[in-house]
Amino acid sequence: MHLVDPAQGVLFDAAIRDWRRLTEADLPRLTDSAAALAADFNRYVTDRGWKIEDVRGSIRVLRILVAHLGADAPIREVDVRALAASSSNHQGARVIDYLRRQGLLVSDQAVDADLARARSIAASLTPKFADMTSAWIDVLTGQGSRPSRTVSNARIYGYIQAVVPILRQWSAAGVGDLREITKDDIEAALQPLEGSAARSVHVGLRSLFRALKRERLIFRDPARKVILKISRRLPASLPTDQLRGLLDHIPDTRSRLIVALIAIHALRPGELRTLLLDDLDRSLGRLSVRRQGRPDHVVFLEEITLNLATAWVCERSRQWSRTTNPHLFVTRQTAASDHNPPLSDCAIRRPFSRLGLKPGQLREDRLLDEAKETADPVHLMRVFGVSSATAIRYVAAAHPADIRPDPIAP
């Protein structure tokens, strides 16, 4: 490798460098500008309140980059990430944020992983099916022939995962074009499926054919009149031995608070990700839960959760005293990033994986337990902020003998 000269034109884009072959014991001598940049980075991390021993991996990454590439030309983000991935002793998040602040970063093109996977799976189908599936994705992302309402990339990926196995079955059966699919074909594909799997395929196929009809790629929508009849599962309690000493099996404060907010106050994992530090009022023992498109829900914290919240806020302040991330839950990575990202869904679910449970199971058990204590759905709505339909469903599951059929129901 040689120092990058900003005045040198680019003949072609280089491939990602293999930093794993690097020998750190024999790094090139820093140029004056590179040494100044490295010194300024040390001041930057100190001013942010990070301890040097906690950021040595970041200092090492910047030192290697400027030793080999210099500090006169912007450094590609892909190189920072590749070097940081070479070992657990290298860290790149702080370096990326710092270089971006200095105007010395060539950012990667933002690629959403869910959308990329969805398009990759669509491209693996036979040509006719691939073209129509790709057109469907275009409609869902608002890139169709006419303006349309977009859906999240995660939902698009979920649609593709549900529908593509059915498309492959039709292709293997000799169907060459989705124009050949009839209502009977869709009902036959749904017949062996049950529960959420059947619902996912049904919703996905309705979305697919509606989009293709909208783009005039098919003449009629065979899924339009397909009705899915599935029995709705009633909530069920968890075994007592799984719940006994739940918090005692979790070592760290953050994870214990996450589990408590779901197991005691029946919050959803997605709601925990959006909680802000300002949403917690420890003096009044209250937590405001922001719900998009719905009124905020106020949780009144009992002693266990309030003590855990206090312990977590103290630990958060002690470890990341100068982070600008406004979220209540942070990690070493999210506290270091200038983008202030929320906690990942994986980080929220990790404590439950250790317990052998799912967040939804604990939330469901808590709601059902409260419903057993009262037959009043309004009480569930006030305490947990659930909808009237959800509250009635849990009361019906807890007190089946007390629920009479609706006389005007069809």
Report, as an integer, the average pLDDT of 160-187: 93
pLDDT digits (tens, 9 = 90+) for 292-346: 777 889 999 999 999 999 999 999 998 888 888 999 999 988 888 878 889 888 8
Least confident of 158-167, 225-234, 330-339, 384-393: 225-234
Domain range holding 64? 19-106
pLDDT digits (tens, 9 = 90+) for 238-288: 555 555 677 888 889 999 999 999 989 999 998 999 999 999 999 999 999
Confidence at residue 250, expressed as pLDDT on a 0 to 100 scale: 86
Q: How many CB atoms lie within 10 A of CB 343?
A: 22
When pLDDT is cut at 50, 70 and 90, the band that residue 92 belongs to is confident
Clarify whether residues 375 and 396 are in a common domain.
yes
Least confident of 204-218, 227-241, 288-302: 227-241
Residue 224 in domain? no
Clarify whether residues 177 and 263 are in a common domain.
no
| Partners of 327 in the β-ladder | 276
Question: Any idea what DSSP says for residue 24?
Answer: G
Of residues 26 and 164, the one with the higher pLDDT is: 164
Crossing angle of helices 32-47 and 56-69, in 10° steps, is: 160
Angle (CA) 400 403 405, round 5°: 120
Confidence at residue 26, expressed as pLDDT on a 0 to 100 scale: 78
pLDDT digits (tens, 9 = 90+) for 95-112: 988 898 888 988 876 667
> Up-side HSE of residue 294: CA atoms within 13 Å toward CB?
11
| Partners of 297 in the β-ladder | 289
Q: What is the pTM of this model?
A: 0.65
pLDDT beyond 70 at 13:
no
Residue 225 in domain? no
From 214, 231, 251, give the residue that closes a domain: 214
Clarify whether residues 72 and 122 are in a common domain.
no
When pLDDT is cut at 50, 70 and 90, the band that residue 378 belongs to is very high
Residue 349 in domain? yes
Number of domains in the chain: 3
